[in-house]
Amino acid sequence: MSSPSASVPGGADVEPPAAQEDGKGNRGKKGKKTDKSDLQPGFRGFTRRGGGRASYVEMPPEWRGTTVQVCGLWPFGAGSGTPMVGVPLGRELTTGTALCCDPISWFQRANLIHNPSALVLGKPGLGKSTLIRRMVLGLVGQGVFPMVLGDLKPDYVDLFRAMGGQIIKLGRGLGSLNVLDPGATAAAAARLPEQARTKLVADAHGRRLNMVAALLTVLRGGPIADTERTVLNAALRVLDERHSGVPVLPDLIRVIDEGPERLRAVTLARGDGAKYRAAVDPLHASLLGMLDGPMGETFAHQTTTAIDLDNPGGVCIDISGIDDSDAELQAAVLLACWSDGFGAVEAAHALTDEGLAPRRHFFVVLDELWRVLRSGRGLVDRVDTLTRLNRQRGAGQVMITHTMADLLSLADEADRLKAKGFAERAGMVICGGLPQAEMPMVNEVVRLSSIEQRMLVDWSTPPSWNPDIDGDSEPPGRGRFIVKVGGRPGIPFKVELTSAERNVNDTNKRWTNSTTRPSANTV
């Protein structure tokens, strides 16, 4: 309630301060000087006439209750600021504040996640690769070594070329990858003491065995038998003893064909040549089919270009030369690239543990995960092995696929559960635009509120037709994502590119940069 005049003890009314001089001769309107109380009220209100000054301010009421009773108030509607540790990705959509985020920084420095890995989901064309390119660029500035182990489109070649990184091309007529080549492991083992060297060599042997078994799994569309795996293990050991250089798959086939005593012993042939042939002939035939089939030109020769971990710009393995119709070859090359890359990481850490090299961290990009998972039964186990120990390897990783349905649409129930584990073990899940049918499956991994679900579904809406540009407008969800960590509220943000990044983020070059078709008179 307002009063005609301010009250003072004793009941006398006095002229408001605005009508009095302040000692400096300053007066307000009509000769009266201006007082600060006219501009800013105190905690009891304005003291001028009609200002409504309160003579007594009551304390606000307080209540206490459980989170069930006050569920509309807790968690508080206005949360804390966005994290400022990591690569700056863009601006938060509701407050406009900057969001800094990447798996390595949130694990190592901010302690916000317990596993330095991320799973990125989103429909095609909404900017998943652009988001990862921003992470790669920011982490290189922090001294992290980035590794894109299989670029199918390619989405990352221009960025790595601009950073001065290493680009390795694989495919028919472009380059080869020898899965029996220990790669960086051999050079590292030569520098290590005996105990560390023995462990590193044993790890390299197991990785080569798993890789050959994975290639056979892709070729057959199913896992190999236990007996065949035992034969491969013995054949690789015999090959290491006999071969002085780096062996290739034809050398492995030759050992199996000859059938030394060590191989005959593991097949229980007991000197019976016919029994040995019956045990190894299916494996022998599959290996021959691998060389003469779609994989032969890529895996039958020595490695064309080895991974160089001394290049600070990282490494990008470009496999865009493999046509999409060669699904088996694509999946096999992706697996081989992942195995070779993680082998190089293990070799680098072995040198570091012995004080022979500085400590380094790696950021591994596993793109198009769905292609490998659908190539045959048993491949989920290979991916599971590669992705399970990233924290111990000192490597952050990001797995990219379109939807959760890619992980849960496998034929085998055991494979579906393991593929779901990829998402459940991820330190963070970053979601772009997704269809409504995806919401129940995503909710099994990270809990989404109704507002977050509606936001993701809205972002998956197709673009509208824009007659002013004679084409589609920008999709509403392009560059927009939500970062989810466990059951915490998600952080919606939009990726913002700098002018220097735009030239390396154009994934439609064959459409936008096409040259003008020459006229009939052009010579």
The least confident of 36-50, 135-149, 438-452, 500-514 is: 500-514
Question: Looking at residues 182-203, what average pLDDT do you find?
Answer: 90
pLDDT for the residue numbered 317? 95
pLDDT for the residue numbered 14? 42
Confidence of residue 379 (pLDDT cuts 50, 70, 90): low
Average pLDDT along the chain = 82
Dist. CA 141–CA 500, nearest whole Å:
15
Kindly report, residue by residue over 258-293, the tens digit of the pLDDT: 989 999 999 988 888 899 999 999 999 999 988 877
pLDDT for the residue numbered 239? 92
More confident call, 508 vs 281: 281
Dist. CA 500–CA 146, nearest whole Å:
19
From 424, 441, 425, select the one nearest 391 (Cα to Cα). Answer: 425
pLDDT for the residue numbered 308? 92
The pTM (predicted TM-score) of the whole model is: 0.77
From 45, 9, 51, 15, select the one nearest 33 (Cα to Cα). Answer: 15
> b/e per residue, 243-265, with b = 16+ CB within 10 A?
eeeebbbeebbebbeebeeebbe
Are 387 and 424 in contact, with CB atoms under 8 Å apart?
A: no
Burial of 518 (0-12, 13-18, 19+ CB in 10 A): exposed
Dist. CA 67–CA 78, nearest whole Å:
16
Could you tell me how many residues make up the chain? Answer: 523
Dist. CA 409–CA 405, nearest whole Å:
6
Kindly report, residue by residue over 233-258, the tens digit of the pLDDT: 999 999 988 888 899 999 999 999 99
Residue 347 half-sphere exposure toward CB, CA atoms < 13 A = 23
Kindly report, residue by residue over 90-112, the tens digit of the pLDDT: 999 988 889 999 999 999 999 99
